Amino acid sequence: MSSGPAIIQVSKLYKTYRVGEVDVHALRGVDLSVPRGEFLAVIGPSGSGKSTLFHILGGLAPPTAGEVLVDGVDLRKLTENERTELRQKKVGFIFQKYNLLATLTAADNIRIARSLAGNETEPPGFGETLELLGIHKRLHHKPRALSGGEQQRVAIARALVNQPAILLADEPTGNLDTVNSDAVLKILRDLNRQSGQTILMITHNPEAAAFADRTVTMRDGQIIGV
């Protein structure tokens, strides 16, 4: 599945955080090209810059230097506001800690993401996605009434509701047991296979990485192995 035009094009990407008087070089020249429709796993030791890369791809943080193109959008040129719009429309985030809003039901958690992007109705065919995720019967529950696996599947639904160009999953199975892990990974693979969803997934687990089409490794703020 690594054919077609690149949906993500990163070259010589640098990200430096300033912490007090010290510069932390989180990314030191990342080069990465992801074809549309690929399921890519990103592995690497803690602190190697995996999350930082995702934050930049997802428009949560601006790059310090280098080129980043996501679905034709040049992220270097974006204002704060435009990055917000990128998050609304082009990117879906999945986090290790699910990050659902505790006060809202599962359905409303999904709905609010849609609403923030300016839509009050579900996209066509979304019911099937919910069925694929196996949460269509659990939607009226609040997160605390759901299992970890269910919460993560709601989070996946929320990430998909705006039909994003790319899905960024930062250790999506990090908090799940093997059974739930497997279920989530299979869902991601199915989404990728059935609807051509481009997915980037950070993981520490080689078995999880095996679900992806390709695996890259990060170390010291760079991608070293392909």
Partner 1 sequence: MINKLVIENIKYRLVRTLLCALVVGVQVMLILTLIGLSRGMLEDNANRAKGTGADIFLKPGATISFSAGQIDAKFVQFVQKQPHVKLAVGGLIIPVPGELLTAINGVDIAQFTQLSGGFRLQKGQPPSEPNDLLVDEYYAQQHRVNVGQIYKLLNHDWRVTGIMDGGVLGRLVVPLKTLQELTGNATPSRISQIFVKLDNPAAIDAEVKHLNSVLEGNLTAISAPAFLSQFSISNIPQLRSFIYVVVALAVFVGFLVVFLSMYTAVVERTRELGILKALGAKPFTIIDMLVRESIVLAVVGCIIGIILSFGAKGLIMAIMPASLQVVTVPDWWPIAGAIALAGALLGAIYPGLKAARQDAIEALSYE
Residues forming contacts to Mg ion in the complex (CB under 5 A) are 51
The answer to whether 32 contacts partner 1 (rule: CB under 8 A) is: no
The answer to whether 21 contacts partner 1 (rule: CB under 8 A) is: no
The answer to whether 198 contacts ligand ATP (rule: CB under 6 A) is: no
Which token pair is 147? 């299992």
CA–CA dist 170, 160 (Å, integer) = 15
Contact string 148-167 vs partner 1 (x = CB under 8 A): ----------x---------
Neighbours of 77 (CB within 10 A): 7
- 49 binding partner (options partner 1, ligand ATP, Mg ion, none; Cβ < 5 to 8 Å by kind): ligand ATP
For the segment 29-68, give every residue that binds ligand ATP (CB under 6 A): 44, 46-52
Shortest approach of ligand ATP to residue 135 CB, angstroms?
26
CA–CA dist 159, 109 (Å, integer) = 10
Beta strands in the chain (DSSP E): 6-19, 22-35, 39-43, 65-70, 73-74, 91-94, 166-170, 198-202, 214-219, 222-225
Single out the residue of 9, 99, 195, 222 in contact with partner 1 (rule: CB under 8 A). Answer: 99
Which token pair is 73? 């959008």
Q: Taking Cα atoms as reference points, which of 202, 209, 210 lies closest to residue 52? A: 202
The answer to whether 85 contacts partner 1 (rule: CB under 8 A) is: yes
CA–CA dist 178, 17 (Å, integer) = 35
List residues near partner 1 by CB under 8 A: 55, 58, 60-61, 81, 84-85, 87-89, 93, 95, 99-104, 108, 111-113, 115-117, 120, 158
List residues near ligand ATP by CB under 6 A: 17, 19, 24, 26, 44, 46-52
